[in-house]
C-alpha cells in the first residue's frame, strides 16, 4: 500500500473525511494498449481515415478520442469503402471477415488481443483432433462471435451457466474439449468448468488459464478491497464484459457497486454517510478517467486516497508487422 495522500477539503458537503481505496491493477491491459496503438499507428502510416470494424475496445472515451484523430468505426465490412485500410478490433473476428476483406482487396490490420488469438488456436487444434468444443462465454459478445467463427458451424457449443451444462447431450462424450472467453468471472467459470468435468470426466481443457491475466488480476484487486469499503465505483462501459464482472465480484462480497463511464456519472448520494469508497477500472478504461472520477468524488467529500496493490503487471505485446517502424 502507498502512503495515504491527503487532498484538500472541498467547500460544502459532508465534513467527515472519506477514505478512497484505489485498486491496483486497474485500467488498461496490454491487449487494449496494443489495439489502441495499432489504430494510432495505422492513421500515422496510411493517413486518415482509417476504418475500424467494431469499437476497437469497449470504451466510449477511447473511441471518441480515436475518431477525433481520423478513425471511423463501422459494424461491417460493407461499410468500408474500397481502397482504404481497416482494423479489426481487439475482441477478434470470425475467419469469414478477413476472407471477405481479402476477396475485396482491402488492406487490413488485425488488432485481436494475442490472448484471444491463443484461444482461437486452441480451438483449431481441438477440432483437428476430432473433439467437439464446449465454449464457456456470453452469447452475443464480440469475442464469443469471433471465437465461434473460427470453426465450421456446429463444431462448438456455447454454455453460459452451470444449468446449461446439465442440458448438454453431445454425440460423443469421450471426445470433448472446453475453452473459455477471456473476460469472464473467475469464480463463475470455475464452477462451470467443475460441472463440465464432473459430467464429462474425459473432457480436456487448455493447459493454462484462458481467462486473461488482466481480468483475473482486476477481480482479485476488487476482492482485496471490497470488505474494507462501504461502496465501490467501477469505471467502464456497459458493454465491457470485464468491467461488468468487477461490479458482480464486489456485489457478491456484499459491497454495493456502481458502473460509471465518466466523473459526471458519479451520484453524490452514493457518497453520503459512507466512510470508505473503493474505485477500480475495467481493462478498457484509461487512467485519465480514474483521475476524473476521483476528482468528482473529491469535489463532494474531503478524501484521503490510498492505492492498494495486489499484483504487478509488466506484460507487453508486440505490434503487427509493418507497424513497428511507424
Question: pLDDT tens digit string along 186-235?
Answer: 999 999 999 999 999 999 999 777 899 999 999 999 999 999 999 999 99
Euclidean distance between CA atoms 13 and 304, whole angstroms: 15
Beta strand pairing call for 86-88 and 50-53? parallel
DSSP 53: E
Our answer to whether residue 143 is catalytic in this structure is: yes
The alpha carbon of 19 is separated from its chain's Cα centroid by a whole number of angstroms, namely: 27
Better-scored residue on pLDDT, 7 or 131? 131
How far is 142 from 125, CA to CA, in rounded Å?
A: 22
pLDDT tens per residue across span 68-101: 999 999 999 999 999 999 999 999 999 999 999 9
Q: What is the topology classification, in CATH, of domain 30-110? A: Rossmann fold (3.40.50)
In this predicted structure, which of 28-42, 200-214, 256-270, 312-326 has the lowest mean pLDDT?
Answer: 312-326
- pLDDT of 251 above 70: yes
pTM summary value: 0.91
Helices (H) and strands (E) in the chain, counts: 10, 13
Of 6-15, 76-85, 129-138, 301-310, the range with the lowest mean pLDDT is 6-15
Please enumerate in sequence order all residues whose Cβ is within 8 A of that of 8, keeping only pairs 6 or more positions apart, or say none: 298, 302
Instruction: Say what the pLDDT of residue 3 is.
Output: 44
Q: What is the pLDDT of residue 324?
A: 62
Q: Quick one: average pLDDT of 166-182? A: 97
Among residues 40, 55, 143, 305, the one annotated as catalytic is: 143
pLDDT score of 8:
45
Q: Please give the Cα distance from 259 to 289 (Å, whole number).
A: 13
What pLDDT is attached to residue 4?
46
Rounded Cα distance, 208 and 195, in Å: 18
Other Cβ atoms closer than 10 A to 2: 11
Least confident of 21-35, 51-65, 124-138, 200-214: 200-214
Domain ranges of the chain: 5-28+213-309, 30-110, 115-199
pLDDT grade for 13, boundaries at 50, 70 and 90 = low
> Which of 2-11, 232-241, 305-314 bottoms out in mean pLDDT, i.e. has the lowest?
2-11
Measured between alpha carbons, how far apart are the two ends of the chain, in Å?
A: 38
Per the model's pLDDT, the better-predicted residue between 8 and 253 turns out to be 253
The Cα–Cα gap between 43 and 310 comes to: 36
Are both 30-110 and 115-199 of the same fold?
A: no
What average pLDDT score do residues 32-53 get? 96
Angle, helix 241-252 to helix 213-226, in steps of 10 degrees: 30
Mean pLDDT, range 40-54, rounded to an integer:
95
169, 214 in Cβ contact below 8 A?
no
pLDDT for position 239: 94
Architecture of domain 115-199: 3-Layer(aba) Sandwich (3.40)
CA neighbor of 128 nearest in space, from 180, 177, 182: 177
Taking the C-alpha atoms of residue 215 and residue 244, their distance in angstroms, rounded to an integer, is: 11
Q: What phi and psi values does residue 74 have, to the nearest 5 degrees?
A: -135, 165
- Tell me the CATH number of domain 5-28+213-309, given options 3.20.20.80, 1.10.260.40, 3.40.1190.20, 3.40.1010.20: 3.40.1010.20
Per DSSP, which regions of 164-320 are E strands?
Answer: 176-180, 231-235, 257-260, 276-281, 303-309
Nearest to 21 by CA among 201, 187, 221, 235: 221
Contacts for 163 with CB less than 8 Å, ≥ 6 apart: none
Residue 17 has pLDDT above 50, yes or no: yes
pLDDT, averaged across the chain: 94
Q: Please give the Cα distance from 108 to 122 (Å, whole number).
A: 23
Q: Is the pLDDT of residue 2 over 90?
A: no
Amino acid at each position: 500500500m502507498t502512503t495515504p495522500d491527503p487532498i484538500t477539503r472541498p467547500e460544502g458537503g459532508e465534513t467527515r473525511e472519506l477514505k478512497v481505496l484505489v485498486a491496483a491493477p486497474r485500467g488498461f491491459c496490454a491487449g487494449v494498449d496494443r489495439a489502441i496503438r495499432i489504430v494510432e499507428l495505422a492513421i500515422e502510416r496510411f493517413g486518415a481515415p482509417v476504418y475500424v470494424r467494431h469499437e476497437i475496445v469497449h470504451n466510449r472515451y477511447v473511441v471518441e478520442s480515436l475518431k477525433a484523430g481520423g478513425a471511423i468505426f463501422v459494424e461491417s465490412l460493407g461499410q468500408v469503402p474500397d481502397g482504404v485500410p481497416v482494423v479489426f478490433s481487439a475482441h477478434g473476428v470470425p475467419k469469414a471477415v478477413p476472407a471477405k476483406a481479402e476477396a475485396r482487396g482491402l488492406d487490413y490490420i488485425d488488432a485481436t488481443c494475442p490472448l484471444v488469438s491463443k484461444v482461437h488456436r486452441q480451438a483449431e487444434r481441438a477440432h483437428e483432433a476430432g473433439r467437439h468444443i464446449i465454449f464457456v462465454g456470453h452469447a452475443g459478445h464480440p469475442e464469443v462471435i469471433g471465437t465461434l467463427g473460427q470453426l465450421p458451424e456446429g463444431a462448438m457449443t456455447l454454455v453460459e451457466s452451470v444449468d446449461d451444462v446439465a442440458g448438454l447431450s453431445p454425440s460423443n462424450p469421450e471426445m470433448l474439449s472446453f475453452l473459455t472467453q477471456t473476460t469472464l468471472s473467475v469464480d463463475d467459470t470455475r464452477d462451470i468448468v467443475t460441472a463440465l468435468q464432473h459430467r464429462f470426466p474425459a473432457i480436456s481443457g487448455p493447459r493454462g488459464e484462458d481467462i486473461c491475466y488482466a481480468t483475473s488480476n482486476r477481480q482479485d484487486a476488487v476482492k482485496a478491497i471490497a470488505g474494507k469499503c462501504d461502496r465501490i465505483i467501477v469505471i467502464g462501459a456497459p458493454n465491457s464484459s470485464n468491467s461488468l464482472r468487477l461490479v458482480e465480484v464486489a456485489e457478491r462480497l456484499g459491497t454495493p457497486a456502481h458502473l460509471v463511464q465518466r466523473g459526471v456519472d458519479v451520484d453524490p448520494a452514493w457518497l453520503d454517510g459512507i466512510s470508505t469508497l473503493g474505485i477500480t477500472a475495467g481493462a478498457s478504461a484509461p487512467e485519465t478517467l480514474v483521475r476524473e472520477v476521483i476528482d468528482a468524488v473529491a469535489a463532494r467529500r474531503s478524501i484521503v486516497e490510498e492505492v492498494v496493490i495486489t499484483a504487478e503487471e509488466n506484460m507487453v505485446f508486440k505490434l503487427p508487422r509493418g507497424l513497428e517502424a511507424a
